[in-house]
Amino acid sequence: MLFLYLRETNQSTEPIMKRAIKLDCGIRFRLREPNAAKSTPIICIVEYDAKPVVKIPTGVKVKPADWSDRKQEAKSGLRNLQAGDAYAINTTLSRIKLTIQTRFREYVLKHHIYPAKPVFKETVMRELRGEPRPGEAEKTNDPSLLNFISGQILAAKSGTRIKISGSRRGTRFAPDTIRDYTVVLNLLQRFCAAEKKTDLTFDDITLNFYRKLQEYMYGDMGYSLNYFGKIVKSIKAFMREAQELGYHKNEAYKSSRFVKPQEETDAIYLNTDQLDALLRLDLSRSAALENARDLFLIGCWTGLRFSDLSQLSKQDVVGSDFIHIKTQKTGATVAIPVLPALKEIISRYQGQTESSLPHPISNQKLNAYIKEAGKMAGFDQPVEITKPVAGERKTVTVPFYQLITTHTARRSFATNMYRTYGLRPSTIMKVTGHKSEAVFFKYIRITPEENARMILEAVMKKEAAKAERSTIHGS
């Protein structure tokens, strides 16, 4: 326990005694209803300078069975919360505790007295809500959207900016998300240069800005409609966050015409025959190409994103039947079966590398290598795709292998598990992390002909079983 010692004086300024003030306050988390059968709010109890205590709502709930009062944290495990959910709760509580400790010590060191409890509670609540502290409004009135985005990126990197919604509420932003925000900032800076502007303010975000950005991305840069939509989505998110924090009152970004466009992509997948051909391809003359091929195939048989694939280690492989890994994007822990083709690949690397798995390589290198391997495997059938040319969509024909990317692996897993192996979407979604079947069916690649064939095969299978039963009963 730290103390601040103060010398009190009489009217002649002679010191007469020492007075000690604690620099730390007592902080505990308690359940509002510790005996409840359902989730109950977690309350933060702050104690200093005798009673009454300060009660601060945390905004999170937990079932009493999933709460450890001794450790002051949510429990995870087979009988408790999923690791990602427990992490989200505990990270939120840690942030609240750090905020309280920081503001309390800051006040005591500055004023040499304890803060008034109602005022202290309001100060903490304002900060937790992301509102500017009293007297700081002038400091946060920077009209620059670019400066705001830059500041939010730095805050996300340091961990002071966290997710405030969704299943990962209270957790830090993933590295991939921070990189995406950096891409948005760089693109907007290039747009400003093209428009001969030195900055982009909150008030600049109008429907006219939307039209000009669209022209720039489609016409000047040749970007796709979906990429434009991704940038617009981020701009709207930053504008909304800045408005909530009091930076501006511009609501043009909420217009129904300030829309995030999206269209179905020409993404392809590799069927099981193609995956087998790729596995049997002799690449012994190029260790780098062979390593990339095997890394890609692990993705095809696990459904892991590249960010998770690149950090996979032998510790994640439990026995010889399962892979357990905490995914970077969602924070969820998934269990993936080690399928026969995957088992064959892993066996090649036992004791050959430090991880007993293919060496991780960059996304760019894997993209380049897997196209080369696809070409060598004979995946050169022509495929028609549409691409932006001078702001318009044009149909062009390219060889199949040119469309293979690192993300093709994950899409191949989902499509093959549904199309070839007939697994239910809900089962596959537990691995891929899709939140709804609607999103899942947009993701997988099933042509109308394949869908019709699946219906035909299902009906014919039922009819064959029905005929077999009739034959047995007739005999």
pLDDT number for residue 475? 58
Q: What is the pLDDT of residue 14?
A: 46
Residue 7, beta-bridge partner list: 18
Q: What is the rounded distance in angstroms from the CA atom of residue 359 to the CA atom of residue 310?
A: 8
Q: What mean pLDDT do residues 208-237 have? A: 90
pLDDT at 380 over 50: yes
Residue 320, CB-side half-sphere exposure with 13 Å CA sphere:
8
* 238 shares its domain with 286: no
What is the pLDDT, as a whole number, of residue 90? 85
Does one domain contain both 233 and 183? yes
Are 398 and 380 a contacting pair, CB within 8 Å? no
Q: Which of 104, 130, 156 is the last residue of a domain?
A: 130
Residue 87 has pLDDT above 60, yes or no: yes
Residue 334 near residue 433, CB atoms below 8 Å: yes
CA distances from 472 to 461, 465, 466, 467, 469 (A): 17, 11, 10, 9, 5
Answer yes or no: is 27 within a domain. Answer: yes
| Radius of gyration, alpha carbons of the chain | 29
pLDDT at 17: 44
Vertex 103: Cα angle to 100 and 104 (nearest 5): 80
| Coil vs helix vs strand at 127 | helix
Same domain, 155 and 60: no
Q: What is the pLDDT of residues 190-219, one digit of tens each?
A: 999 999 988 899 999 999 999 999 999 988
Q: Which residues form the domain of 19?
A: 3-130
pLDDT for residue 392: 64
Structural domains of the chain, count: 4
Rounded to the nearest 5 percent, the helix, strand and coil shares of the chain are: 50, 15, 35
> Does residue 28 sit in the same domain as residue 76?
yes
8 A C-beta contact, residue 308 and residue 325 = yes
**Whether residue 449 is found in the same domain as residue 425:** no
Question: Which pair of structure tokens corresponds to residue 227?
Answer: 């990429």
pLDDT in tens, 349-363: 888 887 778 988 888
What is the Cα–Cα distance from 105 to 75, expressed in whole angstroms? 30
Question: Are residues 355 and 449 both part of a single domain?
Answer: no
List the end-to-end C-alpha distance of the chain, in Å, as a whole number: 88
Q: Are residues 166 and 295 in the same domain?
A: no
Which amino acid makes up residue 429?
M
For the ranges 16-25, 142-151, 190-199, 241-250, the lowest mean pLDDT is seen at: 16-25
Here the tokens at position 468 are 């077999």
In terms of domains, do 173 and 293 share one?
Answer: no
More confident residue, 219 or 392: 219
> Average of pLDDT values for 2-30?
62
Please report which confidence band the pLDDT of residue 109 belongs to, taking 50, 70 and 90 as the band edges.
confident
Residue 416 covered by a domain: yes
Residue 78's pLDDT is 67
Higher model confidence: residue 403 or residue 50? 403
Same domain, 194 and 303: no
Region of residue 4 (phi > 0: left; psi between -120 and 50: alpha; otherwise: beta): beta
| Alpha helices in 352-447, H assignment, sequence order | 363-376, 406-419, 425-432, 437-443
pTM of this prediction? 0.56
Q: Looking at this protein, which amino acid is placed at residue 254?
A: K
Identify residue 388 by its one-letter amino acid code. P
Closest by CA position to 165, among listed 76, 234, 237? 237
CATH code, domain carrying 437: 1.10.443.10
Q: Are residues 55 and 82 in the same domain?
A: yes
Residues 151 and 118 in one domain: no
